[in-house]
Amino acid sequence: MTTTTHTHTAALALGDDALVLSHRLGEWMGHAPVLEEEVALGNIALDLLGQARILLSMAGDEDELAYLREERAFRNLQLVEQPGGDFAHTIARQLYFSTYQHLLYARLASVEGPFAGLAAKAVKEVAYHRDHAEQWTLRLGDGTEESHERMRRACTALWRFTGEMFAPLDGLDLDLSELEPVWLESVRSVLERAGLAVPEGSRTGAWRAGAGREGLHTESFGRMLAEMQHLHRSHPGASW
Amino acid sequence: MVTLTPLEAELLEVAGSVLDPELPVVTLRELGVLRAVHVRDTDTVDVELTPTYTGCPAVEAMSLDIERALHAHGVREVTVRTVLSPAWSTDDISAEGRRKLREFGIAPPRVRKAAEPVGITLGPTRTRDADASADMGADMGADMGAAMGAALEPILCPHCGSADTELLSRFSSTACKALRRCLACREPFDHFKEL
């Protein structure tokens, strides 16, 4: 495989993470618990969409990649495609993912390579996403009985999707497994301060036949894609 | 710093005087997003623009406005390219730009010493310290500020100048702003977040 192909593979994976999570966060528009959160989630989604556009353009035509690929051709982590659930699920997903993305971009920004420019820019934005998720985890975990219980359920439900983040990714010249202990420590620290236990159980699910990075996705992802792609597919070549 | 030809300096001035589409009091030059103007031949010009945020939707409007301004100045062909490196920072906003933001009712970003954010140390879940005198733009300010290695002054209310302000939301009408409220004059206001 050539270096360019390697870069495409990694750009596609990271770009799909950003695109899919951006869409999932966008689903909150009109439904967030308070106006400030609607704006916050929309802004985070916009940051992610900006990253996705740059990353997917490194891999090919951004519109074709976003709107015309089938489910199996997407390379995003299963974590980011999980439905928003209640607000606690969205915050747990944000906590797990933004901590990972922040560590990853900080590392990519520090080494020369095709991702250094984007990473150096985006790491500063993601620092705010991470802060947002951590503050909400503390508030919900250390809040009412109801919010604590919902946050506990959400953290547990998404735990099995967190192992995939640290599997080797073709085209990235770094050992992702090195990020894992730092991620675990950071998440553990936030959960503990929120009065939440670190979930138990496997972080890769019960079976191991590959996951999002190999194009294997969970059930709800197909429905998400149908909604995301139908306008573009129904009106090929249309523009505003 | 590359030396500019007199023509490039002139065109940089023209392109730089374009107003930001979302903050129509500051120019692109004051915002620090205009990186370079290259004259390829007498009437063909390349412009380098850097986005404030990766997903900033204003970039397209900025590009069109730059093209329009340069066309009006007699340049036949204008190509605006988006560049990411070096990454834009709120420290790139000029002193004049900060002054104009304040007059417009937006608390300008504070200037930081260190450039890069590092790991975040979190405080309590409250968005405001119980001890207001220790606030000094604490909450997000202290957490993110400390994370960004900054020695930060308080965020002043752009309306009355009070340092007694509190964070309402980390994200406001655009990704680059946070929503705050002044506890002295009770007015809500936007704060251009440090990035």
Contact between chains at A134 and B122 (C-beta distance less than 8 A): yes
Structural domain includes residue A64 = yes
- Per-residue pLDDT at B151: 58
Assess whether pLDDT exceeds 60 at residue B131: no
Q: What angle do CA B57, B29, B93 make, to 5 degrees?
A: 80
- Per-residue pLDDT at B42: 74
The minimum CA-CA distance between A208 and chain B, rounded to whole Å, is: 32
- Per-residue pLDDT at B137: 36
Residue with tokens 């705050």: B180
Nearest to A22 by CA among A125, A135, A121, A105: A125
Chain B residues in contact with A51 by the CB 8 A cut-off are 54-55
Interchain CB contacts (distance < 8 Å): A and B = 99
- Cβ-nearest to A47 among B54, B118, B143: B54
- Per-residue pLDDT at A236: 86
Assess whether pLDDT exceeds 50 at residue B135: no
- Per-residue pLDDT at A206: 56
The minimum CA-CA distance between A203 and chain B, rounded to whole Å, is: 23
DSSP B111: P
Of B58 and A99, the one with more pLDDT: A99
Q: How confident is the model at residue A226 (pLDDT cuts 50, 70, 90)?
A: very high
For residue A12, give the CATH number of its domain.
Answer: 1.20.1260.10
Q: Which string of DSSP letters, residue by residue, matches chain A? A: --HHHHHHHHHHHHHHHHHHHHHHHHTTTTT-SSHHHHHHHHHHHHHHHHHHHHHHHHHS-HHHHHHS--GGG----HHHHS---SHHHHHHHHHHHHHHHHHHHHHHHHS-STTHHHHHHHHHHHHHHHHHHHHHHHHHHTS-HHHHHHHHHHHHHHHTTSGGGGS--TT--S-GGGHHHHHHHHHHHHHHHTT-PPPPS-SS-S--S--GGGT---HHHHHHHHHHHHHHHHSTT---
The contacts of residue A25 (CB under 8 Å, 6+ apart) are A41, A42, A44, A45, A48, A84, A90
Q: How many domains does chain A have?
A: 1
Locate A175 and state its tokens: 């050992």
- Per-residue pLDDT at B145: 43
Contact between chains at B122 and A131 (C-beta distance less than 8 A): yes
Locate A100 and state its tokens: 């990972």
Of B29 and A6, the one with more pLDDT: B29
Structural domain including A27 reads 3-234
Contact between chains at B86 and A50 (C-beta distance less than 8 A): no
Q: Which residue of A has its CA nearest to B117?
A: A124
- Cβ-nearest to B125 among A49, A122, A139: A139
Query: Is residue B45 left, alpha or beta, with left meaning phi > 0 and alpha meaning psi from -120 to 50?
Result: beta
What is the per-residue pLDDT across A66-90, written as a single tens digit (0 to 9) for each? Answer: 999 999 999 999 999 999 889 999 9
Question: How far, in Å, CA of B142 to CA of A205, rounded?
Answer: 38
- Per-residue pLDDT at B111: 86
The contacts of residue A122 (CB under 8 Å, 6+ apart) are A47, A50, A51, A105, B54
When pLDDT is averaged across residues B143-153 and rounded to a whole number, the result is 53
Structural domain includes residue A240 = no
- Per-residue pLDDT at A57: 95
Of B23 and B118, the one with more pLDDT: B23
Residue A182, φ and ψ in degrees, nearest 5 = -65, -40
Nearest to B57 by CA among B173, B168, B170: B173
Assess whether pLDDT exceeds 60 at residue B56: yes
Structural domain includes residue A239 = no
Question: Could you tell me which residues of chain A have a Cβ less than 8 Å from any Cβ in chain B?
Answer: 36-37, 39-40, 42-44, 46-51, 53-54, 106, 116-118, 120-125, 127-128, 130-132, 134-135, 138-139, 142, 186, 190, 193
Using the Cβ of B170 and the Cβ atoms of chain A, whether some distance falls under 8 Å is answered with yes
Assess whether pLDDT exceeds 80 at residue B167: yes
Question: How far, in Å, CA of A50 to CA of A93, rounded?
Answer: 20
The contacts of residue A151 (CB under 8 Å, 6+ apart) are A88, A91, A92, A137, A140, A141, A143, A194, A196
Domains contained in chain B, CATH given: 6-82 (3.30.300.130), 101-192 (no CATH)
Contact between chains at A46 and B119 (C-beta distance less than 8 A): no
When pLDDT is averaged across residues B148-172 and rounded to a whole number, the result is 84
For chain B, give the percent of residues with pLDDT over 70: 79
Burial of A142 (0-12, 13-18, 19+ CB in 10 A): middle
DSSP B113: S
What is the per-residue pLDDT across B110-126, written as a single tens digit (0 to 9) for each? Answer: 987 654 554 555 544 44
When pLDDT is averaged across residues B49-77 and rounded to a whole number, the result is 92
For chain A, give the percent of residues with pLDDT over 90: 81
Using the Cβ of B143 and the Cβ atoms of chain A, whether some distance falls under 8 Å is answered with yes
